[in-house]
Amino acid sequence: MRPALRRLKSTLRPYLMPMIKVLPWPVRKHLVKPGVIELTERRLSAAHGFDSPFEGTNIKAVVERLRHEKLDLSSLPSVFLGHLFSALRKDKGMSSAAISDLSYEAASLEVKLLSEREWMGLFQLCCMTGLYQLGYVFREKAIEHILTLAVYSKKYSKRYLTACLEKQNFGEDGVEHFVMNSELDEEERKRFLIFSGLLGTLEYKTQNLLFDKEYKSYLREKSVAIVGPSESSNEDATEIDSYDEVVRLNFSYSAKGCDGKFNGNKATITYFNGEQVRAFHNEANAILPESVKFACLKSNEFFGEVADNNSEVSIRRLMSFDGLVYNGFLNMGPIAVLDMALHSSSPPKIYHMDLMLTVRRFGGYYPDSFGRDSDEVLVAVFNRSTVMHDPVTQYRIFQRMWKSGRVSGDKIFEEVMSLGCEEYMKQLQSSYSGIDQES
């Protein structure tokens, strides 16, 4: 009989669960075994009188991520949990001042209340909803947890090393001691030490291990400008074009993002991310503009087609640093800067790159097929992307390289670097949260 009941239950579940889910918790609790979502919902209902705390368009994606990641937030104080979900739902009256107060409240929570994974889960929930100031606090809790509470055996884990590298927490022993006593294999150790060197943590000679000899030879004793996709009113064209080499990101057609007043017209090197090289292949037959001498691809997808269709251009595969950062994957900007620092004999200068503090890019940066033709769409796409492309990771890499003299920048870049990470995340929130900025 029991197997028959199980089969019947399995058959009916897909039809019954959608109906049960729309019921308020006081009714639903009698019909389903409580999971992470149900237990959180029960606490919110009891503490704050929310009949359906997880209803509304602003919260659906958050609930799905809570369910998928199985984040157990039961250790958090009920009052704080209620305030948190009011913020995530973007309740009426929610303001930047309220988020600042909530961030202060979050900073006072004990690190041991949640695991590192759960703190990072909260950070990602905040990214999804544009609450970057609050997310920053949760992320700092996660790193504090792994650096102070995690227990290790004889070998340091990669996760611990990446957290130490981000916070420069190697002590008197230094990064090399930690790396040599880690669980990394020989190749990972080399890459980690080179990455540390690029960030200014130590001087480490690459000994011809990982850089591209042809590219390094090409860039020898040349000045390099890297031009980002941010809209700019600074008349930098003449200065940009005076550099020996000018790097433009995702330069898929002639004159893309170029002009004689603001951005310059020169373009000799380009770096492509995965989604842009796909569009470049599908919409432009993977044929590069004539001025391009080197094209550097993040993704291996379509590498062969790009190389075959551009016999006069040197096509390169980029070395990945993704496994060497504490969280997420790198955007094209920091990848290009790291790669250039590895190969160029002089520090490149960055122009028109504000690390996404402004929502719009220059006209034509995104192919029409992307459908990113409104601020609303651009904000939604960015917030989704930051779950994987951690903005703190991107910022701290840029800032470390800037402070160590590995790169310099124009007025826009220098101002962003001078903010500091916490203030940067607060300004990012003002651009992407949709919350009233009045205090």
Q: HSE, CB side, 13 Å, CA atoms: give it for residue 348.
A: 30
Q: What is the mean pLDDT of residues 101-128?
A: 94
Instruction: Determine what percent of the chain falls in helix, strand and coil, rounding each to the nearest 5.
Output: 50, 10, 40
Mean pLDDT to the nearest integer, 102-107? 96
What rounded mean pLDDT belongs to the chain? 86
Is the pLDDT at 421 greater than 90? The verdict is: yes
Which DSSP helix (H) or strand (E) runs through 80?
helix 78-88
Q: What is the average pLDDT across 320-332?
A: 90
H/E stretch holding 351 reads strand 349-351
pLDDT in tens, 375-414: 999 999 999 999 999 999 999 999 999 999 999 999 999 9
For residue range 303-324, list pLDDT tens digits in order: 999 999 999 999 999 988 888 9
Q: Are 42 and 34 in contact (CB under 8 A)?
A: yes
Percent of the chain topping pLDDT 90:
59
Helix axes 132-148, 116-128, angle to 10 degrees: 170
Q: Confidence class of residue 328 from pLDDT cuts 50, 70 and 90? A: very high
Work out the average pLDDT over 120-136.
95
Domains of the chain, with CATH numbers? 18-148 (no CATH), 158-198 (no CATH), 213-432 (3.90.1480)
Taking residues 203-231, report their average pLDDT: 82
- 326 pLDDT exceeds 50? yes
Contact criterion met (CB below 8 Å) for 193 and 161: no
Position 10 pLDDT exceeds 60: yes
Mutual orientation of helices 375-385 and 116-128 as an angle, nearest 10°?
170
Q: What is the mean pLDDT of residues 77-106?
A: 88
What's the pLDDT tens digit per position in 252-277?
Answer: 999 999 999 999 999 999 999 999 99
Cα separations in angstroms, 347 against 68, 341, 380: 43, 7, 34
Statement: residue 208 has pLDDT above 50: no
* Averaged pLDDT, 142-163: 84
